[in-house]
């Protein structure tokens, strides 16, 4: 690992950095020594707990490994198994359903909230209140909604009763469980996402809105003609961040349904967790992890292309 | 605001302007209503937590939609903190099983505090090296740090678990804390942005006075960046307090010596008897678990909001 993260020691003799005036040299060398001192703890932590596990994980994905005996090289066996594993594809489909509902609803709500805040008020109190759910642990959020959506005593079903709907088994029915978990996490993340978008909105000059209003444009038209086009680069970044996060849904599932009922909420993360820590199939779990990285990278690239994130219309 | 009232002051045809003015006013009222609706949706579950935690669990079913606690009692909190006797607990619908809530609370405090101090300090050092010092490979290493943000945590957790197992650190504080103690890419990135903006002149003046880099860092950079460092510390504390996955992996369900609150809450739910869970006790526990974050938010809300807006910009 040390070879890949070139340790910045000043090598005497070797041409250290740029060759400039000779007087500058001692200074540069002092720089290097100080740099090593400052970067060392973080570099150590990064090497041991981020870089090495990543490399090790890729290696393990080509092995048969149960933690008890040393990993045995098995070539691409895990990957061929992966392609034929219906449970894996099912978990991927479940995750995708979750991501689509979660991101779809969350993005629309967050844009609406951000625009409303932007056009109505600068109150940071209001922004803070909307951010509150994001600061509370996933576990807490999951438990509160599990209680509120309880079939017999949950307040959500009481509300539904008042407007004439029968009680729903939000966490207990196969076709409802993923939408339910997706919406619970919309509740947790909508204020956070709105805040990121709000930051982007502040970069749009107010004069544009004033000019549009003088020309008789309505708020509604200004939103579609000014706000949304100019927000595109920010929106692209926010989407990439939130989609990556959304794919990693685990806590809510682990605390409430444990993948049930009948695997209806067994998302990829939970499936990997189960393979690794219930069945101790570390090789196969690592292979699924690699697949997840590839999928995430692909989805992110696709989004950035589609939304032309690099370009701005503001110029 | 000014933009909206503009058309009315422009002297066009008076009547349509007035009509539009009224429409704008109605539109604004509707917009405010929507915004407050979302505030309500945001706050309601917190209220419901409180309302349930103060109810008598046995009586919850009698009035599930009551706005106020049902048969108000502090029993839920007494059960959580182990102050209720077995008979009292069971009379109110608790299981009566002893849970070492104080221990989990203490463990969470220790874990979050140690991670916060270590991570913020070491990340600040690294951020200084990235922002201010010149050394070969600096930009490459920084890029490498950032790409680590793309790797899903579960992928890294597998070999890290293996490592902790081999080191015999499962079920220890060290096992929970170590991976987060030295840095996270976000913390380094966040502080680097601030250090880049610290004026170089002050630093050079100190250097002429003979101060070395460590002295400059501890005496100058750290005090001058107290605000962003405090913000990062608050965010780190909240994140560590809320972390569930990694502490779940490295602690055994049968050994609760170093179990943190989030993991305990997850188990608390699965251990309650099917059919009649102790909702009041569970909500009391979740509220206590959320309390430090709520307090931090009450004290530093504005700072937290600004930092997240900042991370949205960069």
Number of domains into which chain A is organized:
2
The reply to whether A69 falls in a domain is no
Min Cα distance A187 → chain B (Å) is 7
Q: What pLDDT, in 10s, does the model give residues B41-50?
A: 999 999 999 9
The reply to whether A314 falls in a domain is no
> In this structure, are residues A52 and B159 in contact, taking their beta carbons and an 8 Å threshold?
yes
* Host domain of residue A270: 80-306
Q: Which residues of B touch A28 (CB under 8 A)?
A: 134
Q: Is the pLDDT of residue A309 over 70?
A: no
The reply to whether A201 falls in a domain is yes
A146 and A280 in a single domain? The answer is yes
B248–A117 C-beta distance less than 8 A: no
Q: What pLDDT, in 10s, does the model give residues B188-234?
A: 999 998 898 888 888 888 888 888 888 889 988 899 899 889 999 99
The reply to whether A74 falls in a domain is no
A51–B148 C-beta distance less than 8 A: yes
- In sequence order, what are the residues at sequence separation of 6 or more whose Cβ sits closer than 8 angstroms to the Cβ of residue B51? B66, B67, B68, B69
Would you tell me which residues 270-309 of chain B have a C-beta closer than 8 angstroms to some C-beta of chain A?
270, 279, 282-283, 286, 289-290, 293-294, 296-297, 301-302, 304-306, 308-309
As a whole-number percent, the residues of chain B with pLDDT over 90 amount to 45
Q: What pLDDT, in 10s, does the model give residues A223-279?
A: 888 888 888 888 888 998 899 999 999 999 999 999 989 999 999 999 999 999 999
Min Cα distance B225 → chain A (Å) is 17
A123 and A243 in a single domain? The answer is yes
A50 and A91 in a single domain? The answer is no
A86 and A55 in a single domain? The answer is no
A93 and A142 in a single domain? The answer is yes
Tally helices (H) and strands (E) across chain A.
14, 2
The reply to whether A114 falls in a domain is yes
A261 and A130 in a single domain? The answer is yes
Q: Which band of pLDDT confidence, cut at 50, 70 and 90, is reported for residue B278?
A: confident
> In this structure, are residues A174 and A259 in contact, taking their beta carbons and an 8 Å threshold?
no
Supply the pLDDT for residue B18: 64
On average, the pLDDT of chain B sits at 85
Nearest CA in chain A to B10: A214
Supply the pLDDT for residue A27: 66
A18 and A94 in a single domain? The answer is no
The reply to whether A290 falls in a domain is yes
B242–A42 C-beta distance less than 8 A: no
B138–A135 C-beta distance less than 8 A: no
State the ipTM, two decimals: 0.87
* A198: nearest CB among B7, B279, B309: B309
A49 and A118 in a single domain? The answer is no
Nearest CA in chain A to B5: A213
The reply to whether A278 falls in a domain is yes
CB-based burial of residue B67 (10 Å sphere; 0-12 exposed, 13-18 middle, 19+ buried)? exposed
Min Cα distance A178 → chain B (Å) is 19
A86 and A42 in a single domain? The answer is no
Domains defined for chain B, CATH in brackets: 101-271 (1.10.3720.10)
Would you tell me which residues 87-126 of chain B have a C-beta closer than 8 angstroms to some C-beta of chain A?
122-123, 125-126
Q: Is the pLDDT of residue A100 over 60?
A: yes
A25 and A120 in a single domain? The answer is no
The Cα–Cα gap between A214 and A52 comes to 60
A35 and A128 in a single domain? The answer is no
The Cα–Cα gap between B279 and B286 comes to 10
Min Cα distance B124 → chain A (Å) is 9
The reply to whether A70 falls in a domain is no
A291 and A167 in a single domain? The answer is yes
Q: What pLDDT, in 10s, does the model give residues A31-89?
A: 788 889 999 999 999 999 999 999 999 999 999 999 888 899 998 999 999 999 999 99
């Amino acid at each position: 690992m040390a070879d890949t993260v070139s340790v910045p020691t000043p090598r005497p003799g070797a041409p250290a950095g740029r060759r400039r005036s000779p007087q500058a040299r001692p200074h540069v060398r002092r720089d290097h020594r100080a740099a090593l001192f400052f970067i060392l703890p973080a570099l150590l932590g990064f090497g041991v707990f981020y870089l090495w596990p990543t490399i090790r994980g890729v290696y393990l994905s080509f092995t048969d490994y149960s933690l008890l005996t040393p990993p045995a090289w098995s070539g691409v066996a895990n990957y061929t198994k992966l392609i034929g594993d219906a449970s894996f594809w099912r978990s991927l489909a479940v995750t995708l359903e979750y991501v689509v509902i979660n991101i779809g609803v969350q993005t629309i709500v967050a844009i609406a909230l951000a625009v409303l805040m932007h056009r109505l008020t600068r109150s940071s109190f209001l922004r803070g209140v909307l951010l509150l759910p994001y600061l509370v642990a996933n576990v807490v959020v999951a438990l509160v909604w599990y209680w509120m959506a309880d079939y017999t005593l949950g307040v959500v079903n009481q509300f539904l009763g008042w407007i004439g709907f029968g009680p729903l088994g939000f966490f207990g029915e196969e076709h409802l469980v993923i939408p339910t978990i997706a919406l619970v996490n919309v509740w947790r993340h909508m204020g956070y996402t709105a805040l990121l978008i709000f930051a982007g909105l502040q970069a749009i000059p107010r004069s544009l809105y004033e000019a549009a209003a003088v020309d008789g444009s309505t708020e509604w038209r200004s939103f579609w003609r000014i706000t949304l086009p100019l927000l595109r680069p920010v929106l692209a970044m926010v989407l990439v961040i939130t989609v990556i996060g959304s794919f990693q849904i685990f806590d809510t599932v682990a605390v409430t349904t444990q993948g049930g009922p009948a695997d209806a909420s067994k998302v990829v993360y939970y499936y990997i967790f189960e393979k690794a820590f219930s069945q101790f199939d570390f090789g196969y779990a690592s292979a699924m992890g690699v697949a997840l990285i590839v999928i995430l990278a692909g989805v992110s690239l696709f989004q950035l292309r589609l939304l032309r994130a690099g370009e701005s219309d503001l110029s | 605001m000014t933009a909206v009232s503009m058309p009315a002051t422009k002297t066009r045809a008076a009547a349509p302007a007035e009509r539009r003015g009224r429409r704008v006013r109605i539109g604004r009222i509707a917009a405010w209503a929507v915004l407050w609706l979302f505030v309500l949706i945001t706050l309601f579950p917190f209220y419901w937590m409180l309302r349930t935690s103060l109810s008598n669990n046995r009586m919850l079913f009698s009035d599930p939609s009551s706005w106020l606690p049902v048969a108000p009692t502090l029993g839920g909190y007494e059960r959580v903190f182990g102050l209720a006797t077995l008979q009292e607990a069971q009379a109110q619908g608790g299981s009566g099983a002893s849970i070492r809530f104080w221990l989990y609370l203490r463990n969470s405090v220790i874990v979050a505090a140690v991670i916060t101090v270590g991570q913020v300090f070491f990340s600040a050092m690294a951020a200084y090296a990235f922002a201010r010092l010149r050394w070969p490979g600096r930009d490459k290493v920084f890029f490498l740090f950032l790409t680590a943000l793309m790797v899903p945590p579960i992928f890294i957790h597998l070999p890290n678990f293996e490592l902790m197992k081999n080191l015999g650190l499962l079920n220890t504080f060290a096992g929970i804390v170590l991976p987060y103690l030295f840095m996270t890419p976000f913390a380094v990135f966040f502080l680097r942005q601030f250090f880049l903006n610290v004026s170089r002149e002050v630093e050079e003046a100190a250097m002429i006075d003979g101060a070395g880099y460590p002295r400059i860092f501890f005496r100058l950079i750290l005090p001058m960046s107290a605000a962003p460092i405090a913000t990062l510390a608050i965010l780190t504390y909240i994140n560590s307090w809320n972390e569930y996955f990694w502490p779940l992996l490295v602690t055994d369900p049968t050994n609760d010596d170093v179990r943190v609150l989030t993991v305990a809450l997850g188990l608390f739910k699965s251990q309650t008897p099917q059919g009649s869970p102790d909702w009041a006790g569970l909500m009391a526990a979740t509220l206590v678990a959320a309390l430090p974050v709520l307090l931090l938010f009450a004290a530093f809300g504005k700072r937290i909001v600004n930092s997240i807006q900042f991370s949205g910009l960069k």
